[in-house]
Amino acid sequence: AVAELWPSLSRNQCVNGQVLVQLLWALKDQAGLQLEALAATRALGEMLAVSGCVGATRGFYPQLLLLLVTQLHQLARGVRAPGSPKVWGPSQRGPPPSHASCAVEALKALLAAALLAGDGGRMVVTCMEQAGGWRRLVGAHTHLEGVLLLASAMVAHADHHLRGLFANLLPQLRSPDDAQRLTAMAFFAGLLQSRPTARLLREEVILERLRAWQGDPEPTVRWLGLLGLGHLALDRGK
């Protein structure tokens, strides 16, 4: 019934913008498994499915993309904010499929209908499907592989949107939240495959950051650092 409201709301861009801002705040302020964030994710997916509502997302694409991918990481890790209600039994492994699938569908809608309007967006979605990227994104141990696949698909088919994404992920590289920080790190390493994107920062700044990751006690961070260094080395050889 709620989904039926979007076609009528799509005629009023001012209302669309106000609704989108509220959804953004809900996604930013709530942990990935809280019911408010999940409701906002579902509403966002329904909103993006209506072509008339897509225009309201212009300018918010990078934030929405990072929020949805980070939420998938939080869901995969089973992160739950203090005081938030349990929404599945302790005997179950991982989040309920409906929660993860809700975020995946919203992300697909963003890529195909809004973020990458045209063939580029469809190609990103297709590449992710063919490579098993969506399945990896929802896995507790494969989420970062999914992020890297998404970054590679965007570099190949949607590089004109990478500047905004790169700028938005930089502050998250130092986030105290593991899901935010590691998701941003994976995007950072993956987007270095794009020469124009890599040149948004001085090479010595990028190298300093990646080398610092090499000294991190967490193996995943060291792996991402090596991956980023490899992308820079390949770019030099072109």
Report whether 216 contacts 225 (CB < 8 A): yes
Residue 77, number of CB atoms within 10 A of its CB: 18
| Cα 183 from Cα 178, distance rounded (Å) | 8
Identify the pLDDT of residue 113. Answer: 65
| Cα 177 from Cα 191, distance rounded (Å) | 21
Cα angle: 68, vertex 73, 74; to 5 degrees: 95
> How would residue 18 be classed by pLDDT, with cut points 50, 70 and 90?
confident
Looking at per-residue confidence, does 113 or 80 come out higher?
A: 113
79 Ramachandran zone, left/alpha/beta (phi>0; psi -120 to 50): beta
- DSSP letter assigned to residue 50: S
Identify the pLDDT of residue 89. Answer: 34
Cα-based distances in Å from 131 to 45, 82, 207, 217: 23, 36, 29, 30
Mapping DSSP to helix (H, G, I), strand (E, B) and coil, where does residue 82 land?
Answer: coil
> How would residue 97 be classed by pLDDT, with cut points 50, 70 and 90?
very low
> What token pair was written down for 166?
């790169």
Identify the pLDDT of residue 164. Answer: 87
Average pLDDT in the chain? 80
| Cα 20 from Cα 40, distance rounded (Å) | 9
Q: Is the pLDDT of residue 96 over 60?
A: no
Identify the pLDDT of residue 91. Answer: 35
The sign of the CA dihedral 65, 69, 75, 77 is negative
| Cα 121 from Cα 129, distance rounded (Å) | 13
Span of 25-34, 46-55, 221-230 with lowest mean pLDDT: 25-34
Identify the pLDDT of residue 61. Answer: 81
> How would residue 92 be classed by pLDDT, with cut points 50, 70 and 90?
very low
Q: Per residue in 104-158, pLDDT tens?
A: 988 988 887 655 455 567 788 899 999 999 999 999 899 999 999 999 999 998 8
Identify the pLDDT of residue 212. Answer: 95
Q: Per residue in 173-215, pLDDT tens?
A: 999 999 999 999 999 999 999 988 988 899 999 999 999 999 9
- CA nearest to 133, candidates 107, 95, 114: 107
- Global model pTM greater than 0.85: no
Cα angle: 94, vertex 96, 102; to 5 degrees: 120
Span of 4-13, 53-62, 176-185, 202-211 with lowest mean pLDDT: 4-13
Report the percent of the chain where pLDDT is more than 70.
75
Identify the pLDDT of residue 185. Answer: 97
The sign of the CA dihedral 73, 75, 76, 81 is positive
